[in-house]
A and B are shown apart, each in its own frame.
Chain A
């Protein structure tokens, strides 16, 4: 079946630093989604990407849909303590009704 490799698994950074994380797939996706999950909460959709090469921003967050359609990147600029949480990527292909999730990146920010 499809697999999504998300890296890094965890990051511990200083407040104010920029953050990058990515997901790679063994197969093509038509939609890439990025979610953030805070402790005890459900995942919250951050950015949705629908076209290869698409670059979309949401405040300090920027995500890109890779040209090959097999990868996606999420960048967070000037991190702040409330960025702490787990970030998940998810991909959907044209054939299915389901999302494939990455394993998550746990972000910790030191004030």
Chain B
């Protein structure tokens, strides 16, 4: 199993541009999550999904959108990039017992 994979690893965006961060898991987990981590800080939950077709907001959802059309994929969409969205983004999936497994992250710089 590859676990949780994320693409791209790094991206530079101009203010106002849009992009989609991809996340895929091959563990057949129903639960998936998107977090952001600012330098020297902990993880903040952006959105999560408990299964295909179901998504819900986390702590910091503003400026982001998600979709969950399949069990494997959980893309995160930034529509109008802002400097405040410069961060490292982590995707995770969760087992039925609650343990979350994280991807390697996407580093985003908005200039």
Contacts and interface: CB of A to CB of B under 8 A. Distances in A.
Interface of A: 30-31, 33, 35, 40-45, 48, 50, 88, 90, 92, 97-99, 101-104
B58 A43 contact: no
Nearest to A98: B45
Contacts of A40: 105
Contacts of B104: 41-42
B103 A88 contact: no
| Majority secondary structure of chain B interface residues (helix, strand, loop or mixed) | strand
Given A31-B98, A35-B102, A48-B97, 16 more contacts: A31-B99, A33-B100, A41-B104, A41-B105, A42-B105, A43-B43, A50-B98, A88-B42, A97-B50, A97-B56, A98-B45, A98-B58, A99-B98, A99-B100, A102-B42, A104-B42
Which of A30, A90, A99, A103 has the most chain B CB atoms inside 10 A of its CB?
Answer: A99
B33 to A, nearest CB: 8
Interface string B50-78: 10000010100000000000000000000
A103 B48 CA distance: 21
Contacts, number: 50
Contacts of B102: 35, 42-45
Given A101-B42, A103-B42, A31 B103 contact: no
B48 A98 contact: yes
Contacts of B56: 97
Contacts of A99: 45, 98, 100
A97 B58 CA distance: 10
A45 B98 CA distance: 12
Contact of B97 (A31, A35, A44, A97): A31
Interface string B19-60: 000000000000101000000001101001010000010100
A40 B37 CA distance: 11
22 contacts: A31-B97, A31-B98, A31-B99, A33-B98, A35-B102, A41-B104, A42-B103, A42-B105, A43-B102, A45-B100, A45-B101, A45-B102, A48-B98, A88-B42, A90-B100, A92-B98, A98-B33, A98-B45, A99-B45, A99-B98, A102-B42, A104-B42
